[in-house]
Structure 1
């Protein structure tokens, strides 16, 4: 006898399992009409057409003819911050660029000044409504980066805030240590990098405050050689690696990430056709962030070219105060269809199984026996309403590990 049987599902729609890459084949969906799902100990124990169910269940819940998709996975957020970037927003509206604002001490530097002195408790309190907004949009697994602390102590407090958030939120959080911005002078940069490698990363690993290390590689941030040193330290400490790269310039970050076996390379707005092929021949996930393109007015990452080359693509919100104040994983999916050239089935794959792969997770992101019972029940009977609808939340219910979550 199963613990729970969910019936009355108009259609269960899910990507297939992992292919030869860490991610799944783009856009190949399994659609089960008039379906049912059985759950035991938070894991899917049976799934298929309701008429084929032959078992019994302690509890049966009729979902009333609504469509069900896997819980969405947001593989890239900066959800912990203090202050705002409204002045930056106004400056951009008058023609200032992201890089000009950063060089003038705004942008990331402004958020660091606002965040660095906050306690872990204060940061968690500020971030909780953002995490809850992502969950209401369908996200059951959410990556959360540090990176606005800058100092050793403040970065640790940021990751401690993520740990506090996990105790207060219903979604599954995945913490990442982000080595975000760097000092201007060469000597100061080397000193900071040494602190990161000899103190910060070892302490984060020792306390299990993060599962991965990310680094921002651009002309106005870290170089590819800096990143190689930092990421090698992360791998030596037993942590996975990721990169922010190819957002504004091509400075070798993507190539480094592929060579070092990064879980993902993220942004990719200026990724070339040749680089698309390089990612496609690797096990690294290409994570695209359409909210940034919309908010900053940048050319969108070449999602269509990446997929056509054979790359496994994921989609994230990049929720942050400066370049992507996007509080909805479902909206990120819809924007990727409109801005990055993905089909609706490809976008669902990119927001579920491939986003999970970008976090090194194999037990979420698809609906099949043995997977975590993370489900999104839609207001609609047709799953395509999820990427189609903008400006209205069509998520009816969220289930995490077989438990219905409060609205």
Structure 2
């Protein structure tokens, strides 16, 4: 097995292996003038260059900083159509209810996506995923959820599968918006038809539910997630985006991998997350684009929770095509420190997806890493409007 020693690294910076909680999110290992030995797509050794093993093939990185590859734990990167008219109307003060009445809003995305075939969805999603990868994302979660009818949901997940090996995707079945009629029958069909079929075909690794006043109730969410568990799928929730109606507490009770959004979370939800193993995934792009209050990232970490950060890339509420930008926004809007933000976008994001063996640069971990343009890793959270990432490596290979 060929060994490669990456050298001339100004700083090698990494969080600890596995999920990090509370104050531990700030504990980064920083190795100046570092080297890293890889073989078989796995990190074998990291340390000062002066201590590096000899007689191996070297790859000179040119004196720049190296950090783990970023992991984006929450995207909706597969969709058709656009929401540009919605955007223009919203910034002019048109209420969302009126935008919906005009035929816009999320249901316009559902109409366009539902009318698209798998090949079209793949073609539309590829440049979005290329942008995320160029920004540093070496693993990306992609949800369905713009289909409503079950065939459209499967087509979305089939598009994710078609792109999976190219981009390192993690597919999630999202139960996003209830139908305008026949709600109870729809939930029953999700539990008895859609979830078993998706599990049988291996189209998703987890089921996510949007738990909100205008979406699914806590009781409906419980039934859907229990069906997911019964068919061997992990569970996640969108919760507390606009109102705290019990979704976060349910996520903690059920041992969900993550609960995402949390803009409306208060002390009770923060305490529940701090006492649980569920990762709190915050999405600062939504705050930037919609002007919502920011998720309480600082309070969650101070309480001892494990926090992750994602882009929530989608056409309506977070057109953020850069995982690095989400990291940078988490510092500015959610009051994370740069070190906490790096941890949130690496090992904690991996935990939010139920993934092990990636997100840190340590022996035995998958060799996903970024070479920056800068010799100082802090340019990663500092930079806005330009890409601080020079090279992206997945399993030790430049992509």
Is TM > 0.5 for Structure 1 vs Structure 2? yes
2:161 is the counterpart of 1:163: yes
Deviation at 1:194, TM superposition (A): 1.3
1:283 equivalent to 2:282? Answer no
**Conserved in 1, the CA contact under 8 Å of 2:43 and 2:362?**
yes
Q: Where does residue 385 of structure 1 map in the other structure? A: 379
Check the 8 A contact 1:98/1:296 in 2, yes or no: no
Moved over 3 A (4+): 97-105
The 3 A distance-change label for structure 1 pair 104 and 226 is farther
Alignment match of 2:171 (pick from 165, 170, 175) = 175
- For the 8 Å contact 1:38–1:44, the answer to whether it is kept is yes
Aligned to 1:30: 29
Q: For 2:122, which of 109, 124, 129 is the aligned residue?
A: 124
CA 1:357–1:282 in 2, change beyond 3 Å: closer, same or farther? Answer: same
CA distance in 2, matches of 1:154, 1:161: 11
Root mean square deviation, CA, Å:
1.4
CA distance in 1, matches of 2:278, 2:73: 13
| Residues 392-407 of structure 1 aligned to structure 2 (within 5 Å) | 392-405=386-399
Q: How does 1:305-324 map to 2 (within 5 A)?
A: 305-324=299-318
SS of the residue aligned with 2:26?
coil
Residue 292 (structure 1) aligned with residue 290 (structure 2): no
Contact in 2 for aligned 1:363/1:371 (Cα 8 Å): yes
Question: Is residue 2–residue 55 contact of structure 1 (8 Å, CA) maintained in 2?
Answer: no
CA distance in 2, matches of 1:63, 1:51: 16
Q: CA deviation at 1:24?
A: 9.0
2:62 partner SS: strand
Shift of 1:107: 1.5
Residue aligned with 2:29, SS: strand
State the shift of 1:102 in Å: 4.2
**What whole-Å deviation, never above 9, does each CA across 1:134-184 have from its counterpart, x for those lacking one?**
0000000000000011111111110000011124x2x31100000000013
Q: Verify the 8 A CA contact 1:246 1:270 in the aligned structure 2.
A: yes
5+ long unaligned stretches in structure 2: none
What is the rounded CA distance, in whole Å, between the counterparts of 1:278 and 1:220 in structure 2?
23
Q: Report the Cα distance in structure 2 between the residues aligned to 1:24 and 1:37, rounded to whole angstroms.
A: 27
Counterparts in 2 of 1:212-251, with a 5 A limit? 212-251=206-245
Count residues with an aligned counterpart.
Answer: 399
CA shift digits 1:248-298 (9 cap, x unpaired): 011111110000000000000010022111100100000000000000011
- 2:374, 2:63 → 1: CA distance? 8
CA–CA separation in structure 1 for the residues paired with 2:119 and 2:2: 40
Q: Distance in 2 between matches of 1:161 and 1:97?
A: 33
Are 1:99 and 1:220, in contact at CA under 8 Å, matched by a contact in 2?
no
For 2:94 and 2:70, how far apart are their aligned partners in 1? 34
> Offset of 1:74 from its aligned partner?
0.2
2:307 & 2:350 partners in 1: Cα distance? Answer: 11
1:6 corresponds to: 6
After TM superposition, list the pairs within 5 Å mapping 1:361-376 onto structure 2. Answer: 361-376=355-370
SS of equivalent to 2:298: helix
CA distance in 2 between partners of 1:39 and 1:355 (Å):
23
How far the C-alpha of 1:106 sits from its partner, in A, is 2.3
1:25 alignment partner, SS class: helix
Aligned to 1:340: 334
Q: How has the CA–CA distance of structure 1 residues 83 and 335 changed in structure 2, closer, same or farther, with 3 Å as cutoff?
A: same
Partner of 1:26, secondary structure, is helix
Matched, 1:207 2:206: no
Contact 1:24 1:312 in 2 (8 A): no
Aligned equivalent of 2:296: 302
Structure 1 residue 101, shift from structure 2 partner: 3.4
Contact preservation (8 Å) 2:76, 2:143:
yes
Matching residue of 1:56: 55
1:303, 1:19 → 2: CA distance? 16
Matched, 1:45 2:44: yes
Return the TM-score normalized by structure 2.
0.97
Alpha carbons of structure 1 residues 192 and 162: separation in structure 2 relative to 1, 3 Å: same
CA drift of 1:117 comes to 1.6
